[in-house]
Amino acid sequence: MKKIFVYGTGTMGRGIAINAAQSGYQVLFCNDVFPNEVKENIDMISASLGRRLAKGKMTQEAFDKTMGLITASTKIEDCKEADFIIETIIEDVEIKKMAFEKMEAIKKDEAIFLSNTTSCSITEISSKLKDPTQLIGFHYFNPAHIMKLLEIMPGILTSKETTDKARDLAISLGKDPVVTYREGPAGVTSRILAGLLNEAVWVLHEGIAGVADIDKACVLGCNHKLGPLELIDLIGIDIHLAKTKMLYQKTGDARYRPCFLLEQMVSAGQIGKKAGKGFYEYSEAGKKALQFIHVR
């Protein structure tokens, strides 16, 4: 049975672990920086699948099989057992470089590296590797175990063999992948979305319309499943801010100039659904749009 090492146990790491286990892979679910969070996040996976079980959307057999394939790890050295290494840690190039450099000295020769980054350059991340041909972008969409799209982005030095392996892996995980011709800032979907989402924040900031009405306009008028502000809450306002900053820096395009409101919200800890409050306030009763009053 093939093994996947998931390095990073946050929201995306949990979704990737579920996706891999449900696809029949053995999963090593690792966090060596905050080891206490591994059990906490496996408990969150169990609770999430437990809700599906309770609603009749999953059988007990499937639940037991999925949970049985996920093993907690607090040592990065456990990547030596893996056939595929999926990284989903903080969006910081230097931290990613250090992690991959350390794992390269340990992993199987044939194992490939897959980074779930949305904004960091694959070519830049691979610059410290002895063999940069084995690293590729492997961008899941949230929730990772549900969304069908998986964007695969080779760096300048990524080999065709690695690209083919990544595509085959994506298909085996039940995804419908898009493979880019070359590397570009934030790939395809995130780059297109960044401009749309950013504009929605500016419309709010300028006092043209409120949160609920901006989202309703896009859902009913553009046939979007989710409004842009609610989508930013789901992504994480801190993640969206980092992505728009990167795009603005890399392209110089004003479409990606982040609104100051985003910085204020991050400073206030109001970073979206994961924090219980973003453009909406989230509780067990549901979500409530917050009021923002700004002077143009």
Domains of the chain, first to last? 3-179 (3.40.50.720), 189-289 (1.10.1040.10)
pTM here is 0.87
Mean per-residue pLDDT of the chain: 94
Q: What is the pLDDT of residues 195-251, one digit of tens each?
A: 999 999 999 999 999 999 999 999 999 999 999 999 999 989 998 998 899 899 989
By the 8 A CB rule, do 201 and 244 touch?
no
Helices 11-22 and 60-68: angle between axes, nearest 10 degrees: 110
Query: What's the rounded mean pLDDT across residues 11-18?
Result: 96
Name the DSSP class of 277: B
pLDDT value at residue 123:
96
pLDDT confidence band for 295 (50 / 70 / 90): very low
CB atoms near residue 204 (< 10 Å): 22
- Residue 18 Cα distances to 13, 219, 235, 256, angstroms: 9, 29, 18, 33
CB atoms near residue 203 (< 10 Å): 18
pLDDT confidence band for 77 (50 / 70 / 90): very high
pLDDT value at residue 284:
87
Instruction: Answer whether the bond into residue 258 is a cis peptide, omega within 30°.
Output: no
Q: What is the pLDDT of residues 119-145, one digit of tens each?
A: 889 999 999 999 999 999 999 998 899
pLDDT confidence band for 294 (50 / 70 / 90): low
Buried/exposed code over 144-167 (b: 16+ C-beta within 10 A; e: otherwise): bbeeeebbbbbbebbbeebbebbb
pLDDT confidence band for 186 (50 / 70 / 90): confident
Residues 6+ apart with CB under 8 A from 268: none
Rg (CA), the chain: 20
By the 8 A CB rule, do 156 and 124 touch?
no
pLDDT confidence band for 118 (50 / 70 / 90): confident
What does the H/E/C string look like for 9-57?
A: CCHHHHHHHHHHHHCCCEEEEECCCCCHHHHHHHHHHHHHHHHHHHCCC
Query: What's the rounded mean pLDDT across residues 148-170?
Result: 97
Buried/exposed code over 266-283 (b: 16+ C-beta within 10 A; e: otherwise): beeebbbbbbebbbbebe
